[in-house]
Amino acid sequence: MSISNTLEKICTSMGKNNKPTYVVMAIATVKGICRPMFTMMDKKENPETKKYTAIREGLTEIIAIPVYWACGEVAGKLSNLFANPKNFMDKALYKQYKSGQKSPEVVKAFERAKELAENNLPKMNKNLMFMGVCGAALFVIPALCSAAIKPLMNKIQKNAKPAEKTLDINTQAPAQVNFYTPNFQHGETFKRMSISPDRVYGMKVGGV
């Protein structure tokens, strides 16, 4: 048997037995492993912040995995209520069938409705599972995480040592600029100009 045939059989088998719950559980598992790992690999982030974020991400996915499975399975069970022959059969004929009036027409209609229900049951089951995991992602998981993780992480954050504050480059105080101020001193090589009327320093203009 060639490798291509083996892969084809594996993919075909997984496609037939695949469920929406399996997909989202696999995604949640990968996120629960990779996201905390990548968070801790960030060298630019503060160590305490990285630790807090990684723990929160991991706990979120740990809660999400069983919730996805539970909500998907519960929603999938509802397909038995919809994939019922009475939903694919004329109401009057179904009443006749339930009352015991099993004429050829009634029996034929019931058999046809039963076949349609059986054919649509797997489709309804997977569609309802998909709606279940969507509801879990939108409502159930955020509610559980808020109720369970937030108090726990607040406690961890209080017990953690406060991180050293670093001054951001945008908030640093401007560097002090020293201006040069010349220090003139009176001496033999420097003569102060005066505007007093009795003495005039400088170059004479004209013959005065």
> pLDDT tens digit string along 190-206?
455 444 445 544 444 44
Cβ proximity of 41 and 53 under 8 Å = no
The Cα-based distances of 208 to 195, 203, 204, 205 in angstroms read: 17, 11, 7, 7
- Res 204: pLDDT: 46
Cβ proximity of 58 and 37 under 8 Å = no
- Res 74: pLDDT: 94
d(CA 77, CA 28): 23
Is residue 65 scored above 60 in pLDDT? yes
Percent of the residues in the chain that have a pLDDT greater than 90, as a whole number: 32
Tell me what the mean pLDDT of segment 57-75 comes to: 94
Q: What is the mean pLDDT of the chain?
A: 79
Tell me what the mean pLDDT of segment 163-171 comes to: 49
- What are the helix (H) ranges across 41-179? 47-77, 79-82, 91-99, 104-135, 141-159
d(CA 51, CA 36): 9
- Please state the pTM of the whole predicted model: 0.66
Is residue 96 scored above 50 in pLDDT? yes
Is residue 188 scored above 60 in pLDDT? no
Tell me what the mean pLDDT of segment 102-112 comes to: 87
What is the band of 94 on the pLDDT scale with cuts at 50, 70, 90? confident
Is residue 67 scored above 90 in pLDDT? yes
- Res 190: pLDDT: 47
Contacts with 58 (C-beta within 8 Å, 6 or more apart), sequence order? 32, 35, 36
- Res 178: pLDDT: 58
- What amino acid occupies position 41? M
Tell me what the mean pLDDT of segment 12-17 comes to: 73
Kindly provide the b/e burial profile for residues 119-137, where b requires at least 16 CB atoms within 10 angstroms of the residue's own CB. ebeeebbbbbbbbbbeebb
- Res 167: pLDDT: 45
d(CA 154, CA 34): 23
- Tens-digit pLDDT profile for residues 113-125: 989 989 999 889 9
